[in-house]
Each structure stands twice: as structure tokens, then as C-alpha cells.
Structure 1
């Protein structure tokens, strides 16, 4: 099964108590891998029965040996954590840009260092501790000078 249809079927089969007695293992196979395996059967008609037969043959010749067994709960947890981390990084980037825009309105000449020999710009990072302390303590450039 391709697209998103595999997920619920794989979860159902991997948690089915009726199948546990037979010591079954559930694998999700990349459709491209199976399609390439199917090419080895020249001129085989394309129908559901033959597709099921080729899939069973794929498992019979131990092509699933290198695949990892389906772990639905682990997959979902990792997927959610990855999406959450991606969302956090996107939000952090957006908020930093928002803060930099507001800082620019107040201190338009504020820049970070452009190298080790830069003596004009004092901050190596505009989000570092020194820059934060300076921006929160002083309300204008005149107070700094």
C-alpha cells in the first residue's frame, strides 16, 4: 500500500492479538523497491492477485532481511517530536527576525562584529548576553555614550 494508506493497516496488523500467536513480523516496504523487484518478472500481467504474489515472493526470498520491523508507536512519537522541533526552530527564527526589526528601529547603527579585527562593532552576537544586557539597560544611544 502506498501513500498514507499503509499506516493504519500496519498499526492494526502489528498490534493484532490474533496474529501474535503466529509470531508474525510486519514490514513496510518502499513501493519503488517492490516495483524494481517486480521488473524481474518479465511480461507478468498487472493485477491485484499477481501483485500479492510478487509481494509474498519478495518476503520468501528474504528481501525483508535488511528492513526494520514496523514499530508504529515509536514511529509516531519520533514523527511528532521531529515536527515539534521543526516548528520550534521555525518560530524561533521568526521571533528573532521580529526582534531584530524592532532593534533596528531603535538602534539602526547596531551591527555585529564582522571578524576578529573589527574594533568598531562591539557585539559578536546580537542575541548574546552582553548585547541583551546593553539593550535592556540603556534606552537610547545617548545613554550609552
Structure 2
């Protein structure tokens, strides 16, 4: 799935719960602002403690999230990560490694923040995800 048209990407984004309430124009802006990345199995695409540069949505494949080398979550298609660092501006609080060949949609900090400003419903969903992920287990 490394080749995807803008229309296909808009349709895909619109089916993801995080973006399901976004207008067509917002989906188009997101699709144009982001880029498609492919991580091979075993690639550590996000390094714990590194400066954050993007928010990621998994289009295909899966990743493991580790904190201090201990697995804390497994994420798959339509899951997302990187929102905490995009909002806080702090270094990445976890590492993320592909568990299989993985295709991702990446949004820069600038594009992510622009999307949140333009779409209050998206902002609420991101805040809910942050709260859920920060809640004690």
C-alpha cells in the first residue's frame, strides 16, 4: 500500500474514528499535508527521548510501543501515535518499532496543530486519546 491516491487516502482517513467527523475539505487538507512512509519489520521509527517531528497513523501493519525497553502497547491498522509529543513539544516518551512491514501516514507538527485548530471535534478526540493513554492501568 505504498502507492495511494489522494482520493484513496481521504477515504481511508475518513473511516478512521479519529478523523470520522472531519469535513471533506479537512480530509483533503490532511491528505495533502501528510506523507506516506513505509517501515520494514524491525525498524525503530520513533526513538524514546528524541525530538518529535510527526504524528503517525498506521494504514497497514503494526508496531510495538516500548518505554525503557519494556513493551507497553501494540498498535495496528487505524491506530495512531505521537499525539502527546505533538501537543506538549516534549521529547518522545516511548520508542515505536515495526512488528511487520508497516505503512504509515505522517503529519508534521505544523500540519497536526493546524488540523486541530481547524477541527474542534478532532481536538476533542485527541484529548480523549491522551487521557485514556495516561490513565493508570
Q: TM-score, normalised by structure 2?
A: 0.24
Structure with the greater alpha carbon radius of gyration: 1
Of Structure 1 and Structure 2, the greater strand share is in: 2
Bigger relative contact order (CA 8 A; separation at least 6): 2
Of Structure 1 and Structure 2, the greater helix share is in: 1
Q: TM-score, normalised by structure 1?
A: 0.24
